[in-house]
Every structure is written in structure tokens, then in C-alpha cells.
A = this chain, B = another copy of it.
Amino acid sequence: MPESLPPDSVGLVTPQTIAFEEPLTLACGQTLGRYDLVVETYGTLNADASNAVLICHALSGHHHAAGYHSPEDRKPGWWDSCIGPGKPIDTNRFFVVSLNNLGGCNGSTGPMSLNPDTDRPYGPDFPVITVADWVHSQARLADHLGITQWAAVVGGSLGGMQALQWSLTYPDRLRHAVVIASTPRLTAQNIAFNEVARKAITSDPDFHNGRYHDYGTLPRRGLMLARMVGHITYLSDASMGEKFGRELRDQAFKFGYDVEFQVESYLQYQGERFSESFDANTYLLMTRALDYFDPAYDFDNNLSEALKQARCEFLVLSFSTDWRFTPARSEELVNAMIAARRKVSYAEIDAPWGHDAFLIPTPRYTDAFGAYMSRVAREVNA
């Protein structure tokens, strides 16, 4: 934490664990008898509970979206750039709810949790979770918090898929869905990258079919490789070039296979750090949730037919250099919304950082996002 807290920070926050004892039946057919969700909230819920905003996280995200857990924290939550007093998701106006999704590894029930049937960690026995399953579990969280209708459900990447799914599954329970750097479904190339990541994990001899905890091991190599591949797809070619170019780690070529270029060192560091902190079974689960997401599937692949269920208004944002989920994919979504006669605002933001741009506060992005959220706030009773 900086020595003096910036005025636009939500400050020190404390996560809470909420227990849900009612069984939840999942898309895969299995039922979770009970589950916990770890949640943070920022701002104050107003009298008629009309100012609540749900934040949905992406692949490796969690509940800690803004502020600091302790004065010793070096970094704030993952979306601190967009959540706080005066920021696009203005905590002076909104009551913001951020959770760790079911299947996660940051405190919510997931593969690392104890399986009540066996009294051992679920590990690979934790059921496959879909985006729709998350939305159901988040609806129960809304019930618990006394929120009948979200002012907005907001997310980037996989989080944007959840915002979109909310509009289809619970059309009357949100007024706005904000879908950032996302896509209505993965392409074959997207799935292929996920498959490489999964194969890196599952082929690691320390993976032990997902029961690594039983063996006192962790599939660190696999998780590191998975993260390295993922990381390349989060950045643009140009931004990697700007950040690292072809700069050498040392003064001259070493003519060997150890780290030679700065970009190699960076990727390895990112991969290694991630492999220490993230659960491999959760990584598999999150990538599969991405693969399976396809709201048009049940509508004969007609996305606009699917979108006719929606009642909310939409903001869709894409980034010019995002090659993971290109602006074209957002436009596909926007065109389907228009065909379905839904209200939608769309902007492609010119930004050099690839997919990661949704985490980086540039004026064009925060202005467009902030202007929309101001409108959402004006509809709310003070």
C-alpha cells in the first residue's frame, strides 16, 4: 500500500466467506450439496438496493478486485484502476460486489476444498463448472445480499461472458450488462491455446491425474507453461515489442539455450510465479468454462435468437490490438444484439496492450466506461 492512501482508493477491505447450504445442480448433471463463496464489497448498498454492481472475474481472477487487504500489500486488487471513488465503477455511487467464483482457488468452494463425501480435497473430482453455473451461484449471492436486481453486471474476458449470460438467464435481475474484451464464444484457435495449456498441466508427471496433493507434489512445470502460453495471448505483438524488443539479457549473444532475450526472462518469471500461487485443477476448470461458453448453441447457433431473451441494456467494449478476442468478435455480438433489437452501446478502444488492455486505465477506455456507468448511476435512487 502506498504511504498515504490515494483519495480514489476504496482503502482497506476484508473479504467475507458466505456459506450456501442449498444444493446447486450444475450443467454437467452433478449436484454440489453446499458451497462457500468468498466475497468483497465496496461502497454502500442504498435503501432500495438499486445501486448494486456485480464484478465477474476472468480466468485467473478472484474476489480481490479493489483496495488493499493490509497496509503491507504492495499491490491493490486486480481491477483497482476501474473501481473506487470517482473511478468508472464509482464506489461513492455504487455498492460493488466481487466474488471468487465457484471452482476457484482463492477461498470459494473448488477443487482444493474438502469433498464432504470423502473428507479429502475434491481435486479432479470437482465437477466441471459452466458460465451458467456461475450465474446461478451469483444469483443466490444476490438473494443473500438482498439484491433483487443489479444496476449492472460487469466483466472483462471470461467475466464478460458471465455478464452476457446473466442477461439471458436472469433477464429481469439486471438493468445493464457491461461486456468488455469478450466474445460470444471461443474460436477453434482459442480452444487450441486452452488445450495446449491443459495438456501442459495434465502431462506433467507431478499432476498425478489431478491428485497431486495426495502425492505432496504440484504440477509446477505444467502450470508454468500454461501461464506462459496464456500470457503471450494476453499481450499484443506490438506491446511485447515495445516492452522487450529483441533486447538481450546480457551484453552479447551467449549462443545457448538459457535465457538470452529479456522477453524469455519475463515470461519464465511470470510462469514460475503463477505456478506457485494458482491451483492446476482450477486452471483446467476455468479454461473449460471458456471453451464451453456458447449461448447460441441452444438456439441453432443463432446468437440473436438467444439474445431475444435479454431485457437489459448493454455496453460492449473491445480493444484494437486484442488478438485473443478481437474487436470483430465484439462486433459479432453487437450485431446480434441489434438484430435482436436490444439496446447496445459499443466502442472499440484504440490501445496497444492487446487483451490485457481491459485492466489498464487509459483515458479513452475509462472515459467511455465511466460515462456509461454514470448513466447507470443516474438511474439509481440516491
Contact = CB atoms under 8 A, between A and B. Distances in A.
A245 interface: yes
Interface string A231-269: 010010100110111100000010111001101100110
A128 interface: yes
Interface centre among A188, A240, A255, A288 (most CB of B within 10 A): A188
Contact of A255 (B28, B192, B204, B243): B28
Interface stretch (A83-91, A156-164, A195-203, A372-380): A195-203
A189 interface: yes
Contacts of A191: 246, 261, 263-264
A244 B205 CA distance: 30
A357 interface: no
Per DSSP, chain A at the interface is: helix
Interface in A127-146: 127-128
Contact of A128 (B202, B255, B323): B255
Contacts of A308: none
A155 to B, nearest CB: 22
Interface of A: 27-29, 124, 127-128, 185-189, 191-193, 195-196, 198-200, 202-205, 221, 224-225, 228-229, 232, 235, 237, 240-241, 243-246, 253, 255-257, 260-261, 263-264, 267-268, 271, 284, 288, 291-292, 294, 323
26 contacts: A28-B253, A127-B255, A128-B255, A185-B246, A186-B246, A187-B241, A187-B246, A188-B244, A188-B245, A188-B246, A188-B261, A189-B235, A189-B237, A192-B232, A192-B264, A195-B264, A195-B267, A196-B225, A196-B232, A200-B200, A203-B225, A204-B221, A205-B205, A229-B229, A253-B292, A323-B323
